[in-house]
Amino acid sequence: MAANISSLLAGKHAFVSGASRGIGAAIAGELAKLGATVTLAARDIERLQENAVSINQQHEVKTTALALDLQDDQAIAEVANEAGPIDILVNNAGVAPSAPFEKQSVDNWRETFDINVTATFQLTQAFLPGMRQKDCARIVNIASTAGLVGYPYVAAYVASKHAVIGLTRSLALELAKTNITVNAVCPGYTETDMAAGAIANIARGGKTETEARAILARNNPQGRLIDPAEVAAAVSWLCLPGSSAITGQAISVAGGEVM
């Protein structure tokens, strides 16, 4: 069984942005487990290299770590060129500044859209010509339940993730006659550094860490935070050859929070 699993994506090359930690690291590891060669990209090159070495040792596939600042147009083009042709693109990197709407700075708004939306557009545009030459290619954008519903105090994040889902649906229609599918995966609150920051912010208001975690989990009918591995499993499923009829979808991984 293990041998079969490790060959499902054999011969495929995946590029994962924001792969230094959390969901991105889990996705890179899951795709490697299925046999894909993986290029990991993020700003934190030391953490990224550690992940690449770990994945290589666990799954014996080629891994490459590339430093990438998603607010640098030239860097995006250079990294896409250095990575070379790919079969799977996972646009995972994202930021989520938190503030009341009236205190949300325009600089934070622009940074959120630069990283969450514009970089997704730029990476996809850079890799798409090569992906068109593949027999089976996949684009998976990591959005959020914040792209499906609204949340208070994260207006820039919510708006940006709605934009990512809109981009996903539009591009899916443009590419519907090709061998490329385009989908979005929408995690709820997940056990990541981002969630840890939210928990810390809530705790500063006088709550215990346990109470703060419960506040984040209360909208999830299962009453918990999502494991990054669960998000990675959804992404890898969309990347399999048998998922070719699934495109233009925004799939919630949130314990039933969004139905």
Residues 6 or more apart in contact with residue 53 via CB below 8 angstroms: 63
Of 151, 153, 157, 189, which one is the catalytic site residue?
157
Give, in order, the Cα–Cα distances in Å from 254 to each of 30, 135, 177, 196.
19, 32, 31, 17
CA angle 215, 218, 222 (to 5 degrees): 140
Residues 6 or more apart in contact with residue 162 via CB below 8 angstroms: 146, 147
Distance of alpha carbon 6 from its chain centroid, rounded?
Answer: 22
189 catalytically annotated? no
Alpha-carbon span 35 to 172, nearest angstrom: 26
H or E segment at 250? Answer: strand 250-253
Distance of alpha carbon 128 from its chain centroid, rounded?
Answer: 17
Q: Just list the catalytic residues.
A: 157
